[in-house]
Amino acid sequence: MAVKITSDAIVRVIQPASRKFNLDELNDNVEGWIEPIKIGPIWVMYREKSKESGEPLNKVASFFFDVAMYGTVLVVPPQQMPDEWDLMEESDLRYTADQVETGFLSALQSALAYNRVYNAPGTLDNSGFVKEEWTYTPSGNIDENIKDFFKKAYQYLTTHEIKNDSNIIYEDDMTIVRIKSNDEKFLMLQQMIDVLLETEEYEKCAELQKIKDAIEL
């Protein structure tokens, strides 16, 4: 896994096609040849000569790393770098790729939260432009966390015009949640209805059924 930070302030977790990223995948994500640098336990990379190519300033990455970065920035655990590069150091063996990624995301969230509260001069503004992006995949395990997410998704889905070509199922100032297809959106809506039936919230079920009926599969 890796973290992709775009210049329009979208933060998302991306997966390699196989066990690790290959060079083509990394290049494709920055739309050019990568320029990698090691910062602590992570590899940070962006498009080579991104500033000279006219890429916009990546405000989120620049703020966090305290150096100007342009265009899309990737944050990759050393355990996920291409095998042929053989970049693992002894210190890297203390952590798993998941630990590195989780630690980076936690540090990034803390830094952005601090900035929103104190808005230090010369850093980011409080316009709420940074958003994390996630993909929801329906499964058979509907736990309390999923039920809590369904409550938020219900408010969004019933107060926004949901188009067939839109894969956004929830959005606020800090988060965008997408779904891969109309088939999965259809399944998620049915799961939401099933949960609401358990609590006899029939009016909400009817609202979701209207959205479900309008989906073109």
Under the banding of pLDDT at 50, 70 and 90, the label for residue 121 is: very low
- What is the sign of the dihedral through the CA atoms of 44, 60, 169 and 144? positive
Q: Delimit the domains of the chain by residue range.
A: 2-118, 136-214
**pLDDT above 60 for 215:** yes
pLDDT in tens, 163-183: 767 789 998 766 788 898 999
CA dihedral 129, 21, 81, 69 (to 10 degrees): -30
Q: Residue 42 corresponds to which amino acid?
A: I
Q: Give, as one character, the DSSP assignment of residue 48.
A: T
Rounded CA-CA distance 154/85 in Å is: 46
Whether the predicted pLDDT of 122 surpasses 50 = no
Single pTM value for the model: 0.59
Q: Give the list of residues 6+ apart from residue 140 with CB closer than 8 angstroms, or none.
A: none
8 Å CB contact between 201 and 192: no
pLDDT in tens, 54-113: 899 888 888 888 888 999 999 998 888 887 877 777 777 788 888 888 888 888 888 777
